[in-house]
Amino acid sequence: MRGRSVILTGATGGLGRVIAKRLGEAGARITLAVRDVGRGRELAARIPGSQVRELDLADLSSVRRFAESWDRRIDVLINNAAVMMVPEGRTADGAELQIGTNHLGHFALTNLLLPAITDRVVTVVSKAHVFGRIDLDDLHWRRRRYSPMGAYAQSKLANLLFTRELQRRLAATGSRLALAADPGFAATDLARHTERPLLDVFLGVGIRLAAQGVERSARPILAATAADVGPATWIGPDGPFGLRGRPAVVRWPPATTDTYLGQRLWDLSARETGTDFAPVSTSVT
């Protein structure tokens, strides 16, 4: 990774901090794309060669400002930031908060930066996708009774469909890769802010019993960032149910390989974000 340019979203969270530090140790030039610039600067001070730029994935105007200010090559974009099982909320653009942040924000960011990306896009996914269902007629839970878990699972299934569809489009334009990285059941604070006390307790117990530490959970993401792998590879833990273990190539389950659904979700996402697949630019240095 020495000398390679990496943009990492959600860099100040548990997994993000570990990923940033390990890539920095490997010599990468990391841009910490964060909502809290103060926390980002504290982290950057401990990572030589890193820089901080403000990015709020729940605000498409912030995504556009970030992309418009970028003027050089990117080797790797890591779509890591996420919100999980939070109470019903809306982004600055009126989207349901979890699909808006986890999927639409990263969808727009990827498309806007794609002309500058030379190697790969790594999107962090989750086993929660198995509980997800993409409702293209009510993506933002305006007619359905809101479910924090249902909305989170939908957003993580969207991440996987996005990765497959992005790779399908990249295949016609060059050798760039779209990869999925699953940390497994990670012992982070992400699942402790549901504002539902009983659920927080349940998740806390589950983390203590089954989760693996953030250092181990970051390994599939680091592997997806640096390993020599093929297109549309999914890297996750090799242990029981994919919750923990060493990084390994994971088979895509049928629900995540629905090309027609992936294309329809892409088209809807393009309309909602005002961004779409962009060709490679030859002027980026």
- Catalytic residue numbers read 152
Closest CA to 52 of 8, 21, 102, 96: 8
Q: How many helices (H) and strands (E) does the chain have?
A: 10, 8
Residues 6+ apart with CB under 8 A from 203: 191, 192, 194
Q: Is 70 exposed, middle or buried (0-12, 13-18, 19+ CB in 10 A)?
A: middle
Those residues whose C-beta lies under 8 Å from the C-beta of residue 137, and which sit 6 or more positions away, are none
Check residue 188 and report its DSSP letter. Answer: S
Tell me the two tokens of residue 194.
Answer: 């549901």
> Considering only CA atoms, which of 184, 33, 22 is closest in space to residue 110?
33
Give me 172's structure tokens. Answer: 């016609």
Three-class secondary structure assignment of 223-283: HHHHCCCCCCCEEEECCHHHCCCCEEEECCCHHHCCHHHHHHHHHHHHHHHCCCCCCCCCC
Quick one: the chain helix, strand, coil %, rounded to 5?
Answer: 45, 15, 40
